[in-house]
Amino acid sequence: MLRQWLKRGPGQTLAFMAEPDVDQLAETLVAFANTDGGTIVVGVDPETRSLGLTLPEEVEDALRMALARTRPVVRTEWSMEQTTSGPVVLIRVPRSTELHSLDDGRVLIRSNIHNRPLSGDAIRQLAATKSSGDYEAEPVPGTSLADFEPDIVDEYRHHWEERQRRTWLGTTEELLLAAGAITEDKTPTVAGLLLFGKDPQFHLPQAELDFVRFEGMEPRGPEGLPGYGRRERVRGPLARLLERAWDLVRQEMRVEAVVRGLQREERLEYPPFAVREALVNAVAHRDYRLTGRRIEVRMFDDRLEVTSPGGLPGYITLDNIVEEHFSRNPRIVNGLYQWGYIEELGLGIDRMIEDMLAAGHPKPEFKATPFSFTVILRNRRERVTPLSRRDWGVPLNPRQIRALEYVEREGRITNREYRQLCPDVSPETLRLDLADLVEKGLLIKVGDKRGTYYILK
pLDDT at 426: 85
CA angle, 64 then 69 then 72, to 5°: 100
What pLDDT score was predicted for residue 381? 53
Q: Answer yes or no: pTM beyond 0.95.
A: no
CATH number for the domain that contains residue 92: 3.30.950.30
**Residue after which a domain boundary falls, among 92, 113, 130:** 130
Same domain (yes/no): 367, 218: yes
pLDDT score recorded for residue 281: 94
> Over its length of 457 residues, how does the chain's per-residue pLDDT go in tens digits?
667 777 777 888 899 998 889 999 999 999 999 998 999 999 887 665 656 566 778 888 999 999 999 999 999 999 888 777 777 889 999 989 899 999 999 999 998 889 999 988 889 888 887 766 689 999 999 999 999 999 999 999 999 999 888 899 999 999 999 999 999 999 999 999 999 999 999 999 999 999 999 988 888 765 556 667 889 999 999 999 999 999 999 999 988 766 555 566 678 899 999 999 999 999 999 999 999 899 999 999 999 999 999 988 888 888 888 878 888 899 999 999 999 898 766 667 888 888 888 888 888 999 999 899 999 999 875 444 444 444 667 788 888 888 888 888 777 888 889 988 888 888 888 989 998 998 888 888 876 666 788 887 6
Q: Are residues 406 and 376 in the same domain?
A: no
Q: How many domains does the chain have?
A: 3
Q: Please count the residues of the chain.
A: 457
Looking at 95, 130, 165, the residue that finishes a domain is 130
Q: Is 398 found in the same domain as 378?
A: no
SS3 244: helix
Residues 97 and 141 both lie in one domain: no
DSSP classification of residue 44: B
Q: 441 is in which domain, residue-wise?
A: 389-456
Cα 35 to chain centroid distance, Å, stands at: 18
In this structure, what CATH number is given to the domain that contains residue 401? 1.10.10.10
Domain boundary among 90, 111, 130: 130
pLDDT at 357: 84
Cis peptide before 20 (omega within 30 of 0): no
Q: What CATH number is attached to the domain comprising 218?
A: 3.30.565.60
Report CA dihedral (221, 226, 230, 236) to the nearest 10 degrees.
150
| Same-domain pairing of 150 and 276 | yes
CA–CA separation, 253 and 270 (whole Å):
7
Say whether both 139 and 52 belong to one domain: no
Other Cβ atoms within 10 Å of 56 Cβ, number: 16
Q: Which residues contact 58 (CB under 8 A, 6 or more apart)?
A: 19, 20
